[in-house]
Amino acid sequence: MRVTPRVLSFDLDDTLWACHEVIERAEQALHDWLQRHYPRIPAEYDRAAMRDVRRRMAEARPALGADLTALRRESLAWHAERAGYDRALAEEGVAVFLRERQRVTPFADVRPALEALARDYPLVALTNGNADIRRTELGHLFRHAFSAADVGAAKPDPALFRAACDALGVRTAELVHIGDDPLRDVHGARRFGARTVWVRRAFAPWPDGVGRAHHEIASLTELPPLLAAAAG
């Protein structure tokens, strides 16, 4: 790294914790809640069918693509109307989902690494989804948090990376973005002009046609010494 890093931004899902199990649990909690209170909805649509409704709604209404909470709310309202319920149930249903959505278990390497890094750098959370770092055990370590819904666009669009730089008044090259997704995290941040660190959580092959990250690590424990060497 030729420029001393000043701000670290982190992707959340599958970078700091495993996402699939969290979403599965949150969707099951919502489905169970619907069965107790609004049974006509799950009687017609199981979880897979509800997921397909959201997918088709996102395709038909691209403006919802950057706000997964709004998408889920609108799809629940659609199910409510179809089943003869009040659309207002969607708000409570989303709250049920989000309560479970924020119950995450960080990977073992995450908290020690973030605690060390937060002593030297401001940390910023950047997510395309609706995870909220402030509602997790890691929240106190982050200076700022931005979602795609906040800025109106999802990674790899530069809006989230720009928000991190603007919030802390740093130049593009002084931002280091750390994430697991080659396209959304690495390609998006590189195109913006930030430095990039790919966290190889899944050990998946690098996709063709996507520029490599500046650095690749298998665990966040590798990040503090990597940054210390860059600063020195």
Q: State the pTM of this model.
A: 0.94
**Residue 226 to residue 143: CA distance in whole angstroms:** 21
φ and ψ of 128, to 5 deg: -80, -20
Torsion of Cα atoms, 109 then 115 then 116 then 122, to 10°: 120
Residue 81: its pLDDT value, please?
97
What is residue 208's predicted lDDT score, i.e. its pLDDT? 87
pLDDT, tens only, 102-114: 999 999 999 999 9
Dump pLDDT digits (tens) for 24-58. 999 999 999 999 999 999 999 999 999 999 999 99
Domains in the chain: ranges and CATH: 7-17+106-231 (3.40.50.1000), 20-101 (1.20.120.1600)
What would the mean pLDDT of 181-207 be, rounded to a whole number?
92
Average pLDDT (181-200) is 96
Residue with tokens 């409570």: 92
**pLDDT category of residue 1 using cuts at 50, 70 and 90:** very low
